[in-house]
Structure 1
């Protein structure tokens, strides 16, 4: 997709300036422009999708413990299934389901509570036996866990294709996308946004929407808004072609160790794990040392994966909040500073619904999902909402 770069013209005015060109910013740009907002400007400090959106694992699901996350995931799944029609792109959706491996009675009890809420909201999730789980994913050792949770409507897709698809459609509807154009300051007057500054100059605007992912805390600080987002490196690896080729399997995760894996193309696997030794920071260098805890976890739950060759991998950033739930809302002290960030690993899967929600917050309409519990000021009181199903 041809994108205007930092060498291109910077508009003097925009109705809304979106800071960040990942999948969340791209979705919001599309939904605003589609709704008829005439002057939508998206500014990306690097290239679109080059931050967290360029390197996630691509999972899409509605299996969460928090009802808000369930609804965001559910609505987004509908959008992912119809993405080829609207906004119009092939995101390689694989509706193979999500399979959570549960190692003890406590984990089973946690998922029983979550599944009850999911089912009440229309998600077809269920508990399955270890033998049934093995039938869905032959790699897992049915003797190493006590139950599993499965939802057939979940799966995975291609984030880079989604970012490109959203931005192409946003531009068709009149939005402007500028790459290589960081926001260096947000101007305010009388507690209201008045403009953004960049190396190319200043854009007058009455609305800024922060979608800067792991870099969002710095953007919020420009207007005195606390966005408690901490960057945390996550790494994945690829097996390359395997012989025989892997069967088509669900996106499989071990809740205790955070081991996960799914198909990669027709004949390989993508594998990963949240390394408990990882310290917060912006480092994005791939370091194969994290494969040691991955292999240890694999030998426990899926022994064949413990010895598989790895041909390469990459590192990206999770944008973590204290309760592993997103920050979505509008600042109370600065008029028209909106934010959608801190997704703690589930931003890609929620992007379609979040685009609709932020569109309606901007327009003053009632969003399809009530995200009031996700405002950033929840941490000032007792409103933290810990999400149990984070990997």
Structure 2
């Protein structure tokens, strides 16, 4: 389960014309490409300046869940989780899906009340999440100290999978359906005229097109600026560490997160994957360091003491693509015809990728999707409507 990027067979020359150009070759870009091609859209080109899945999708493991407090995010998460469960059947691909569950730890009355409300929302969408006692949480996850827990929410259907494998499966299926992938290719400009998309210029030349889909993750603000659309996406480094592999497996535990500190952990082979959403200055730096370990250790000593001072074998640093409310941007621009966007997932891109691929396909085709995406429109940041203030996620 080492970090991986995705390569495809065959060299692809850059065409002079495309029906739609997707900027970004991570999970979002390849999912959108696959769903467009599967719907019969031809002339789809994906541009990726490095290798497919080399951005945030290069994370060795990514959570998959429908456990949110906001109905729209629950819908995206559940739709995607269902799609990931079918990956083996539909693509013949093992994406390493492990439905070990998600466990959110509550150590204050406010957290208990919030989780109870969230579980009610999740159950209304068919989730099997439930509230459990601290003692039951410790039975499910023996690393925990039940004495510090008031309660927890547990969703057995959730878990984690390997993003690089999902990217590879989508990309291979999309390529087989006629999608062109241009890796090692940088977008230099997106030209518009009379309020419409006209072309995309890369380091390899110009592609005439009427439609551009921005799936550029942490780099999306720059893409938006090329067409005069403000996409409020800020890059923030996030880091995780993997402990040394042991001769014997650790007990299998859920993806566990302490709501008070944002410390989280779960299995990684015969070791553990550890992290914490500590404060980071915005920026594109992706160098791994151990600076977060102090905060992790302090949090672990409270609710999972045996995980403090871990013996880390290696680590990973990647970028969250945060929006001001930590919710995604999904929509079609009102300012520039033919400009679509799917970005700003704030750490939830992998778990929402399949569903968002469907939604952007339907936006492009001008047809009704499985849910209303208006609450994800960038226009929510253009006014002061309090109804558009949404939950702030912690991972």
**Normalization by structure 1: what TM-score?**
0.97
1:311 aligned residue (310, 313, 321): 313
Cα shift at 1:385: 3.3
In 2, are the aligned partners of 1:64 and 1:388 still within 8 Å (CA)?
no
Partner of residue 8, structure 2? 3
| Cα distance in 1 for residues equivalent to 2:154 and 2:12 | 48
Partner of 2:275: 272
* 1:82-93 superposed matches below 5 A: 82-93=86-97
Structure 2 SS opposite 1:307: coil
Aligned partner of 1:112 among 113, 116, 119: 116
Q: Are residues 1:291 and 2:293 paired? A: yes
Matches within 5 A, 1:141-290: 141-242=145-246, 244-265=248-269, 267-276=270-279, 278-290=280-292
The residue that corresponds to 1:324 in the other structure is 326
2-structure distance, mates of 1:102, 1:165: 37
Report the counterpart of residue 3 of structure 2 in structure 1. none
Gaps of 5+ in 1: none
d(CA) in 2 for partners of 1:389, 1:134 = 24
| CA displacement 1:172-231 (0-9 Å, x = unmatched) | 111000101111111111100011000110001110000000000000000110100000
**In structure 2, which of residues 341, 344, 347 is the aligned counterpart of residue 342 of structure 1?**
344
The residue aligned with 1:68 is 72
Which sits farther off after the overlay, 218-227 or 108-117?
108-117
SS at match of 1:286: coil
CA distance in 2, matches of 1:389, 1:122: 21
Taking the aligned partners of 1:16 and 1:199, their CA distance within structure 2 comes to 18
1:56·1:316 contact (CA, 8 Å) conserved in 2?
no
Unaligned runs of 5+ in 2: 1-5
- For 2:301 and 2:312, how far apart are their aligned partners in 1? 15
| CA drift at 1:56 | 6.5
Give distance in 1, aligned partners of 2:61 and 2:294.
Answer: 19
Q: Is the 8 A contact 1:49 1:163 kept in 2?
A: yes
Task: Return the offset for 1:312.
Answer: 1.2
TM superposition outliers: structure 1 runs of 4+ over 4 Å: none
Which secondary structure does the structure 2 equivalent of 1:252 belong to?
A: strand
Per-residue CA deviations over 1:119-170 (Å, capped at 9, x if unaligned) read 1121111110011001110001101121100001100000011111110000
Distance apart, 1:384 and its partner CA: 3.6
1:137 to 1:270, Cα distance in 2 relative to 1, 3 A: same
After superposition, the Cα gap between the structure-2 partners of 1:301 and 1:280, relative to the gap in structure 1 and judged at 3 Å, is same
Q: Distance in 2 between matches of 1:243 and 1:386?
A: 45
Whole-angstrom CA distance in 1 between matches of 2:334 and 2:214? 14
Work out whether residues 88 and 169 of structure 1, in 8 Å CA contact, stay in contact via their aligned partners in 2. Answer: no
Partner of 1:18: 22
What is the match of residue 354 of structure 2?
A: 352
Partner SS for 1:113? helix
1:104-129 deviation digits (Å, cap 9, x = unpaired): 00001111111111111211111100
CA-CA distance at 1:292 after TM superposition: 1.0
